Structure 1
């Protein structure tokens, strides 16, 4: 076991991403791309390669580099060894009565040792939910949801995951069989519904470029029984996403404008790499009906080739490398969305396709940061219901309001506040469940399993007293359990992932009833609107990869408690402070910044507060970094608070420097006045402010005001 929350296989994928960025594409594709994670034991990573030549090349040239990368990712010393592995035989599930296909590509028979394996779970929750089984989706795909519609967007997920599990993604070019039942299952559909969608020509027109029905007419072949059998229907699934039509037009226009000025293609592409992605491909409101289904979808490479024209032989290699970098700039490989199999197969059919995406999109704007202890399970949506409807391509905004009153949806998302403004577009905050509560059916099954075993899964249990109150009793029977439990909320769903409540036959086993709140959870964190325009963004070099803090680290969080969830580091348990409502509503601005209230307001963990204060943290240093993150200098910073903490830990008394330090030394009330004037559209006279904050979007300024405790809800432009 390793001391990090990152699983070894995930750590290897992160190392691969770094190697892809740092190596020539030809070398990476030849020697590194086809490697595979084999095992991790006693601090040793074992990585498989297809042949002996690859093993020797990697061992002689990349051992030290990979060792250094993995050591940094896991924060502990590791070793790396490369071995030759045989190509696996891909198998697939057969479903009785389903129209599944026999696998088309089967590796040769090989004599292999057979091992008998058995999975053992001590947690009923882990045994039923299996939170480690996830579907990984590129974050850029969220831009396709309003174009495809919520149903077809899930259908693409079904095809993509079925192709991945069948082996088609790991061995491009080969054809593999996948049961239609599996595609339907990962699409949140019944087999009948899947067949109904498959029979519609409009389905394949809208999925064009993502899932392509290669053979329109059925083909037949004679089987061993001398009877004709229909051959498998052939579909080509795009595992690398193309650009949306609107993004392609935006990128083409940007490139044409620079090329028209006489600059060379290589110079223009380098300039694009230095331009924020949301300037190259700004978010545009789309609906399924707005897409011209006859328009072909193209990749970033296709667009560059078409716009730049013929490239000389001398520049071709460099052009290809820059094209790869631009594709990763617009669709960062680390910008991933994690969907648990349990959510897709158990909750999605209950929620419905639209509500399912609603939960996924709000979850995607929350995270947990194991390095700093911050947990963000509140999402602020600047334009309220109208913005969420835009994410999903819905024309009827009231649908979002209706979903929030659905009992199943409310187990994942609750609206906790809204501000003055138009009903459809007023800013709103939502509390988001980052874990996977079990369905009622599975909770019943879990209770029966625990009753059959004759012991509780944790060492505490709760006995209901009233609608809003519970009493904790310590169990002295030596039951095996989780580290800790919390009770809370009107639901009184019992504590950790496998807690049981005493005295009732229908007691619920909750995912975990702990839940953390945060002051602000703008997904972009740099103040950009929380629409699809920033779904492609991952922090710049100065930020942590926030996807490391994402769903895989939050699967034990529920939606039913009042206090913040303890954050475990090693053997110690550090809990965040609970912020009283009066403190959140209270402005913290006077002549001097109140450091304690700034730390409390921004949910800095107790551990980090103590570390920073013991080493001389000043309010000016914290304010300086928050100003930096809000400005255009901080483009790409997803979480200003986490970024500030990471920069302050090495030297808590040092700010961002330059004009940001100068502004932080201005009396707090004067800085607040300048910020409010800028939000109102009145440019402050202060030249230092103009130099530091010129061009900062208003949405990021409002986020900064919220972090500093400056009330802005009553402003005319709010």
Structure 2
């Protein structure tokens, strides 16, 4: 904080409470005077960048001259649909250094005394500008524990944070999108951390470049994967060629050094004091009778000898069909898998994945077409894709949004509870949305097998 350059960069974010010349002392236990700690004030409202502040202030001045009223000028700026239009640079320059907030600009234009209404409008405009690109949520554990334990530099921590923000995780439904793409490769990643040297990022992601590395092992958080083949001419330059990474969305597990998981899904077990890396796969006994995955969960075990021939009775068939339904339903929705299993054209798949279309929106539109309220719509898949291409994040209205937010197993249970023919008996199901489902889909619905096939694959309709 003593460096003049650092102080200039932190203007508007952190400022010293006492003046530079002030010297505060207090008497210690030894009876002698000691220098008191320097007090700083941290501004909780982010300031505008210098370029953005200049553009906003110039537009505010122009609108004040046009309307001869600062209230009308602020209201017109708030009415702009795309906030980024307010941040476009202008050729005119300010006659003074750019200010930090819209409130400071209003004070400069109107004087120190202005009405509460003008202050409210200025605060609303400032809040809209600083929130126009969304929020980045950084876990407190990452700041206090992960950065310290993994020896991450501030630049590495910020790059991990940005990569996680580009990815997606829904803790309620379990949906994860942990693959991110940097279209300009290392160069783009270096620009995100304010560096012009792409080799710095390249060295972070190459564990064997020990002599050129500074900080922690970034490969634990970002694991490079192969990009899908593109029909366009690929950029083969090391610094700017597109690169895709699998991001570790959760914090690295470290239970006394015995259990660690990295971005590539590898698992390090250290039960006897030795470290061994194994891929998260299946481990089978010699006779094939027992299979467990790397975390020890049971994948398959035979309760009866292989030569057992047991016929199912009427009482065992429903239980087995329920187990089969659970096996069909995935743990969470993944849009790329749904598009692939329905043989959607690769060009359309690429288009939807590039705009990060919502898988819940896709599910909601498929369910909407199957409902009696959709009218004469018959092409479930085509209609859902067309709505998704029109607006990647917009979901079907009403209860279909609630149905899409359910886990796949819950939705499959609701689908199976509805008869598809006129003379079939409904299956009793206890679910909070069972009544709403019956009201939306009808007491019997012949379209539901198509929904089942689209969402759960061909095996679900057998």
CA change 1:581–1:414 in 2 (3 A) is farther
1:344 maps to 2:143: yes
* 1:244 paired residue number: 49
Q: Kindly indicate whether the alpha-carbon contact (under 8 Å) linking 2:365 and 2:383 is maintained by their aligned counterparts in 1.
A: no
* 1:164 paired residue number: none
Q: Kindly indicate whether the alpha-carbon contact (under 8 Å) linking 1:259 and 1:268 is maintained by their aligned counterparts in 2.
A: yes
> Normalising to structure 2: TM-score of the pair?
0.55
| Distance in structure 2 (CA, Å) of the matches to 1:647 and 1:625 | 16
Shift of 1:434: 1.0
| Distance in structure 2 (CA, Å) of the matches to 1:328 and 1:244 | 14
| Residue from 84, 87, 105 that aligns with 1:278 | 84
- Indicate the SS of the match to 2:359: coil
Shift of 1:207: 1.9
Shift of 1:401: 2.3
| Residue from 6, 9, 17 that aligns with 1:214 | 17
Q: Kindly indicate whether the alpha-carbon contact (under 8 Å) linking 1:354 and 1:392 is maintained by their aligned counterparts in 2.
A: yes
| Residue from 197, 219, 230 that aligns with 2:35 | 230
| Residue from 178, 199, 203 that aligns with 2:6 | 203
Shift of 1:612: 4.5
1:305 maps to 2:107: yes
CA change 1:261–1:607 in 2 (3 A) is closer
Residues 528-578 of structure 1: per-residue CA shift (max 9 Å, x gap): xxxxxxxxxxxxxxxxxxxxxxxxxxxxxxxxxxxxxxxxxxxx9843358
- Indicate the SS of the match to 1:379: strand
| Distance in structure 2 (CA, Å) of the matches to 1:613 and 1:446 | 46
| Distance in structure 2 (CA, Å) of the matches to 1:301 and 1:379 | 37
Q: Kindly indicate whether the alpha-carbon contact (under 8 Å) linking 1:381 and 1:427 is maintained by their aligned counterparts in 2.
A: yes
1:365 maps to 2:122: no
| Distance in structure 2 (CA, Å) of the matches to 1:467 and 1:373 | 22
Residues 188-231 of structure 1: per-residue CA shift (max 9 Å, x gap): xxxxxxxxxx4544333332221223343542222354222221
| Distance in structure 2 (CA, Å) of the matches to 1:413 and 1:364 | 13
* 2:155 paired residue number: 354
| Residue from 416, 423, 430 that aligns with 2:225 | 416
- Indicate the SS of the match to 2:384: helix
Shift of 1:241: 1.6
| Residue from 392, 398, 405 that aligns with 2:193 | 392
Residues 633-677 of structure 1: per-residue CA shift (max 9 Å, x gap): xxxxxxx34x3356893699xxxxxxxxxxxxxxxxxxxxxxxxx
CA change 1:205–1:443 in 2 (3 A) is same
1:604 maps to 2:403: no
CA change 1:435–1:370 in 2 (3 A) is closer
| Distance in structure 1 (CA, Å) of the matches to 2:127 and 2:296 | 42
Cα RMSD over matched residues?
4.6
Between 1 and 2, higher relative CO (CA 8 Å, sep ≥ 6) is seen in 1
Alignment of 1:638-657 (within 5 A): 640-641=392-393, 643-644=394-395, 649=400
1:266 maps to 2:68: no
- Indicate the SS of the match to 1:306: helix
Shift of 1:433: 1.2
Shift of 1:330: 1.0
| Distance in structure 2 (CA, Å) of the matches to 1:445 and 1:283 | 54
| Distance in structure 2 (CA, Å) of the matches to 1:283 and 1:648 | 44
Residues 85-143 of structure 1: per-residue CA shift (max 9 Å, x gap): xxxxxxxxxxxxxxxxxxxxxxxxxxxxxxxxxxxxxxxxxxxxxxxxxxxxxxxxxxx
- Indicate the SS of the match to 1:232: coil
Shift of 1:252: 1.7
- Indicate the SS of the match to 1:649: helix
Shift of 1:273: 1.7
Query: What are structure 1's unaligned runs of at least 5 residues?
Result: 1-197, 285-293, 448-463, 474-485, 500-571, 630-639, 653-718
Q: Kindly indicate whether the alpha-carbon contact (under 8 Å) linking 1:337 and 1:364 is maintained by their aligned counterparts in 2.
A: yes
- Indicate the SS of the match to 1:431: strand
| Residue from 124, 127, 136 that aligns with 1:328 | 127
CA change 1:495–1:433 in 2 (3 A) is farther
Query: What are structure 2's unaligned runs of at least 5 residues?
Result: 91-95, 208-215, 261-275, 286-291, 299-328, 404-462
- Indicate the SS of the match to 1:576: coil
Shift of 1:394: 0.7
Q: Kindly indicate whether the alpha-carbon contact (under 8 Å) linking 1:611 and 1:649 is maintained by their aligned counterparts in 2.
A: yes
- Indicate the SS of the match to 2:128: helix
Residues 221-274 of structure 1: per-residue CA shift (max 9 Å, x gap): 223542222212111211122211111012123323434444643333222223
Shift of 1:298: 1.5
> Normalising to structure 1: TM-score of the pair?
0.37
Aligned length: 317
Q: Kindly indicate whether the alpha-carbon contact (under 8 Å) linking 2:146 and 2:251 is maintained by their aligned counterparts in 1.
A: no
Alignment of 1:454-603 (within 5 A): 469-471=281-283, 494=295, 574-576=331-333, 579=336, 583=340, 588=345
CA change 1:472–1:250 in 2 (3 A) is farther
Q: Kindly indicate whether the alpha-carbon contact (under 8 Å) linking 1:372 and 1:608 is maintained by their aligned counterparts in 2.
A: no
- Indicate the SS of the match to 1:212: strand
Q: Kindly indicate whether the alpha-carbon contact (under 8 Å) linking 1:378 and 1:432 is maintained by their aligned counterparts in 2.
A: yes
Q: Kindly indicate whether the alpha-carbon contact (under 8 Å) linking 2:183 and 2:243 is maintained by their aligned counterparts in 1.
A: yes
